[in-house]
Amino acid sequence: MGRRYKGQLLHGWLNLDKPPGLSSSQTVSRVRRAFDARKAGHGGTLDPLATGILPIAFGEATKTVTYAMDGMKAYQFGVRWGEARSTDDREGNIIETHYHRPTALQIEGTMAAFVGTIEQVPPRFSAVKVGGRRAYDLARRNKAVELKPRRVEVQELRLVDVPDADSAVLSVTCGKGTYVRALARDLAHRLGTVGYVDWLRRTMVGPFIEADAISLDKIETLGHIPPDSSLLMPIETVLDDIPALALSAQEAQKLKHGQSISALSVASRSPFKDIEQGDTVCAMSKGRLVALVRIADGGIHPVRVMNL
Please tell me the distance from the alpha carbon of residue 136 to that of residue 127, in angstroms, as a whole number.
Answer: 6
Q: Compute the distance between CA of residue 304 and CA of residue 294 in angstroms, rounded to an integer.
A: 10
Amino acid 2: pLDDT: 43
Cα–Cα distance measured from residue 302 to residue 259, given in angstroms and rounded to the nearest whole number? 7
The CB-side HSE value for 278 (13 A sphere, CA atoms) comes to 0
Alpha-carbon span 105 to 182, nearest angstrom: 21
Give the pLDDT of residue 124.
Answer: 66
Active site includes 279? no
Q: Where are the beta strands (DSSP E) in 59-194?
A: 73-81, 83-85, 94-97, 116-120, 129-130, 133-134, 150-164, 167-174
The pTM (predicted TM-score) of the whole model is: 0.90
Task: Give the three-class secondary structure for 1.
Answer: coil
Domains belonging to the chain, first-starting first, are 12-71+207-237 (3.30.2350.10), 73-205 (3.30.2350.10), 242-305 (2.30.130.10)
Sign, Cα dihedral of 16, 22, 23, 26: negative
Confidence at residue 148, expressed as pLDDT on a 0 to 100 scale: 82
Q: Contact at 8 Å (CB) between 188 and 81?
A: yes
The answer to whether 150 and 123 are in contact (CB under 8 A) is no
How many angstroms separate the CA atoms of 204 and 53, rounded?
A: 6
Q: Tell me how many degrees the CA angle 14-18-22 measures, rounded to the nearest 5.
A: 125
Report the distance separating Cα 24 and Cα 205, nearest Å. 14
Question: Alpha-carbon distance 106 to 187, whole Å?
Answer: 11
Give pLDDT, residue 126: 52
Q: Which residues pair with 153 in a beta bridge?
A: 117
Q: What averages of pLDDT result for each successive group of 10 residues across the chain (308 residues)? A: 66 96 94 91 90 96 92 97 94 95 98 96 65 54 71 97 98 95 96 98 96 94 76 91 88 91 79 77 89 90 90
- Supply the pLDDT for residue 188: 98
DSSP 8-class letter at 286 = T
- Total Cβ atoms within 10 A of residue 253: 14
User: Nearest to residue 215, comparing CAs of 18, 14, 12, 13?
Assistant: 18
Q: Judge whether 9 and 205 are in contact, CB under 8 Å.
A: no
CA 16 to CA 8: how far, in whole Å? 19
Q: Which of 17, 36, 47, 70 is catalytic?
A: 47
What local confidence, expressed as pLDDT, does residue 195 receive?
98
Contact call for residues 261 and 223 (beta carbons, < 8 A): no
